[in-house]
Structure 1
Amino acid sequence: MSIKERVLVGMSGGVDSTISALLLKEEGYEVEGLYMKLHSKPGYHEIHQARAQKAADFVGIKLHVLDLQKTFNEKVFQPFIDTYAEGKTPNPCALCNRNLKFGEMIRFADEIGAQYLATGHYINSDGTYLYTASDDTKDQSYFLFYINKEILPRLKFPLGERHKKDIKKLAASIEGLESFSSQAESSEICFVETTYTDLLKEYVEVDKIGEVVDKEGNVIGEHKGYMHYTIGKRKGFTVKGAHDPHFVLKINPETNQIVVGKKEDLACYKVKLNNLNMFDDRKEFDTTVKLRYRTKSVKCHVKIVDDIATIELEEGVFGVAVGQASVFYDDNKLIGGGWIIES
């Protein structure tokens, strides 16, 4: 490129963002890094900001630091707490990607005059749509369904066509980056130290003994507090005289009850979504949908009316939870999604 174009790279201190910055610089871009202080987990930023600075120094780029802890608390952390208190299952990563990683970060890119924004996510984009990564074991498209489509032409994902094992090998082969190749993988929810219930206990009353009821409303056992459970869970509660496994079918926060049943009772064939984020204007279509991150996509028919999507599934899906993201795929193309309000 004759005139260097500037790209802002989100730097976490990990191997993926480090190699992304290195690859972009080798391509001839004018690269700058950004480390974002999001949650306030004690000791976290001291370690990771130092790693990000070490990575930036190695690549030879400037590292900016943006303190977004207040915004993170308002738009990601507090909704996380509130969603569990409402008896639903949150998806904080999708909210963080929209509001911070691809919201506040794109605004900062504008401030420094960067034409592009890049991250170490394993995902692809052609500027109009998002696509799954070549490494399907690391694909992160599910968590990026909620980002604003207007910014897609400005996004770069250097690792989209690469595999994680090759990124680690590359880092291990570069003198000065060997330590990055052996770093532990980051946790799925970065601000959860041990379990989500341990975290919730600092903010709400989690341990509150309640009733286990069957589908007819009969009391058949006891549980230790509804926030300990998500849809599909089969342990941590008692069912009197049960010989077969029972699974959580529904959570009633108002009465502190959980409804349980047999595995076949978990099968869901119809789902409704709101707060849709679609990358095109189709209103009724056949496609596939992923209703949870670590599940396979299933065929479905979708009809959208007044920003509510009704999904008819061709096969039953187990463990569908209100509050989770539901994402539509046309083969490897992500075409949009929304938030489950009814299943």
Structure 2
Amino acid sequence: MQETLMKVALLMSGGIDSSYSAYLLQEAGHEVVGIYLKLHDNDLKHAQNIQNIEKVSQKLGIETHIFDAKELFKKHVYDYFVDSYQKGLTPNPCAFCNPFMKFGFALEKALELGCEKIATGHYARVKEGRIQEAKDQSKDQSYFLFGLKESVISRLIFPLGDRLKSEIKPEALEILPWLGTLESYKESQEICFVESDYIDILRRHFPVEQKGIVQDSSGRVVGEHKGYMQYTIGKRKGFTVKGAHDPHYVLSIDPKENRLIVGSKEELAKNVVYADPFALPEGFEHFEGEVKIRYRSLKVKAEVRLDESGRLVAHLKEKVYGVANGQALVLYAEDLVIGGGWILDSSLKS
């Protein structure tokens, strides 16, 4: 059955994935309208991206629109990112950005432009009204899309979801050669407003180099660290442990006292994870399937329920390591995203 042709808004970044998506959508017969969002304050990067987008638009003959969303982005994503680190959390700005910006603000603009659907270069798919993992497991981005509502998912198109990145690059660069060469092209950075190190962002707001104490799980002072915002749960470098012969890992972060608690890898292990619900199916109470605790982590079988206080409690069938407060706990039924929430202090008892 032939796909219904329609007017589709495509979020364009100036990179290979979204540019090639424009080509694929047009080849499928859709009327494509490009949208570029100015989210951060790096005007040089915006200029480079827009230059690439204009070249793609001219070659394919599509109209493009540029929207300044810096103020909204700062409110919903940037401030959340900065505040999270101040609180000792490890934020996930991409998962937070998607429901508010790319599939919130941008979707509204797409509908205003008369588009029926919105497309992106994400490696993901849509199946049965849910986000589905991409064919290319090494590039799958379904984890970052867990927060999208069903009403939004029904309007999504992911042209790259059934393709492998290794197959996309050669063809994309043949069609759009100015985007780079196979030898020199670099993957776009994961967090759009971080140039090299997230600490550079935090330095603009906080004195991040404030030394503090390192304690073991019994409360004994065993060393020193460089400033709590420079660490996440599971990190094993950048702090001292006097007389240590075995690796030590960050078990928890105390922002009020600028203190790290460290311990062995076995102390880092968790088989129960708590989360603040963010996106769940209507009437959700109980779920048996798999979960992810980080983007690059493997899925683990789990039983998940809501407790009396409204928290998500995931009982994992095997131990996981590096469960970081602030990251997303994402629920999967085989390759379909069911929903998820933001991870809370894993030391809490149910």
Equivalent residue number for residue 103 of structure 1: 104
User: Does the CA contact (< 8 Å) of 1:276 and 1:308 recur in 2?
Assistant: no
**Deviation by residue 1:18-37 (Cα, 9 ceiling, x = unmatched):** 11111111212111100110
* Deviation sequence 1:160-203 (CA, Å, 0-9, x none): 000111111211332xx123253321011111111111221111
Contact 1:276 1:307 in 2 (8 A): no
What is the CA–CA distance in structure 2 between the aligned matches of 1:326 and 1:287, rounded to whole Å?
A: 13
What is the CA-CA distance between 1:280 and the residue it aligns to? 5.5
Distance (Å, rounded) in 2 between the aligned partners of 1:269 and 1:156: 36
Query: In structure 1, what is the Cα distance between the partners aligned to 2:277 and 2:217?
Result: 29
> Partners of 2:94 and 2:125 in 1: how far apart?
18
Q: What TM-score do you get using the length of structure 1 for normalisation?
A: 0.96
Write the distance in 2 (CA, Å) between the matches of 1:57 and 1:90: 38
SS of match in other structure, 1:342: coil
Q: CA separation in 2, counterparts of 1:125 and 1:42?
A: 34
1:127 touches 1:154 (CA, 8 Å); kept in 2? no
Q: Does 1:330 align with 2:336?
A: no
* The one of 196, 203, 218 aligned to 1:216: 218
Offset at residue 279 of structure 1 (A): 4.1
- Cα displacement (A) at 1:99: 0.6
In the other structure, the counterpart of 1:253 is 255
d(CA) in 2 for partners of 1:56, 1:342: 47
Once the two structures are superposed, the pairs formed by residues 58-207 of structure 1 within 5 Å of their partners are: 58-126=59-127, 128-174=129-175, 177-180=176-179, 182=181, 183-207=185-209
| Letter aligned with residue 139 of structure 1 | D
Say what the alpha-carbon RMSD is for the aligned residues: 1.5
Aligned-pair distance for 1:42?
4.5
1:69-89 Cα distance to aligned partner (Å, 9 max, x none): 111111101110000000010
Distance across 1 between alignment mates of 2:133 and 2:169: 20
Assess if the C-alpha contact under 8 Å between 1:129 and 1:279 holds in 2. Answer: no
CA gap of 1:3–1:295, structure 2 versus 1, over 3 A, is closer
Q: Which SS does the other structure have where 1:36 is aligned? A: strand
Amino acid at match of 1:70: E
Aligned residues: 341
Q: 1:230 — aligned with what?
A: 232
- 1:280/1:335 contact within 8 Å kept: no
Measure the CA separation in 2 of the matches of 1:217 and 1:58: 64
Aligned residue among 314, 319, 325 for 1:316: 319
Aligned residues of 1:127 and 1:153 also touching (Cα < 8 A)? no
Which whole-Å CA distance do the structure 1 matches of 2:133 and 2:46 have between them? 30
The residue correspondences of 1:30-49 to structure 2 (distance < 5 A) are 30-49=31-50
Secondary structure of 1:77's aligned partner? helix
Q: What residue identity is the alignment partner of 1:321? A: A
Alpha-carbon distance change, 2 to 86 in structure 1, aligned in 2, over 3 angstroms: closer
Distance 1:63 1:254, change over 3 A: same
* Cα distance, 1:307–1:179 mapped onto 2, change above 3 Å: farther
2:329 matches 1:342: no
| TM-score of the superposed pair, with normalisation by structure 2 | 0.94
CA distance in 1, matches of 2:161, 2:237: 38
- Structure 2, unmatched stretches of 5+, are none
Percent of residue pairs identical: 45
CA deviation after TM superposition for structure 1 residue 59, in Å:
1.4
2-side partners of 1:328 and 1:2: how far apart?
30
For 2:11, give the aligned amino acid.
G
Q: CA deviation at 1:126?
A: 2.5
Quick check: 268-277 or 229-238, which moved more? Answer: 268-277
Give the secondary structure class of the aligned counterpart of 2:344.
strand
Where 2:337 maps in the other structure, the secondary structure is strand
**Could you tell me whether the CA contact under 8 Å between 2:277 and 2:312 is conserved in 1?**
no
Does the aligned pair in 2 maintain the 1:11–1:119 contact within 8 Å? yes
Moved over 6 A (4+): none
Residue-by-residue CA offset, 1:257-291 (whole Å, 9 max, x unaligned): 00000111000111111133024644212111000
Task: For 2:296 and 2:232, locate their aligned partners in 1 and report how far apart those are by CA, in whole Å.
Answer: 15
